Amino acid sequence: MDETKQKLTDLIASIRGHLQADGGDIEFVDYVDGIVKVKLHGACHGCPHAAMTLQSIVENVIMTEIPEVKGIENVDF
């Protein structure tokens, strides 16, 4: 795993506790062309507030720590 993907994995692991406290979870899927792909689980999956969670928590933390990240995308497969 390259350095950026490892850093993303570590950052997402640090965010997981916040989501798990509300019955949700997040999984790192991939990093392609500046876009971080994640999958939401549990209460976060299908939640109407999931987009806000991705933007306000996940995207904010990741883009602050890794400036080359252009965005976060929830994948559902």
The CATH number of whichever domain residue 47 belongs to comes to 3.30.300.130
pLDDT of residue 1: 63
Q: Which domain holds residue 70?
A: 3-74
Query: Number of structural domains, the chain?
Result: 1
pTM for this entry: 0.82
pLDDT of residue 17: 85
Looking at residue 14, the DSSP 8-state letter turns out to be: H
Helix residue ranges, H only, the chain:
3-20, 50-53, 60-65
Tell me which residue of 22, 32, 42, 44 sits closest to 72, measured CA to CA: 32
CA 73 – CA 71 distance, rounded (Å):
7
pLDDT, tens digit only, all 77 positions of the chain: 689 999 999 999 998 888 888 788 889 999 999 999 998 887 767 777 777 777 778 888 899 999 999 998 888 86
pLDDT of residue 10: 94
Residues in the chain: 77
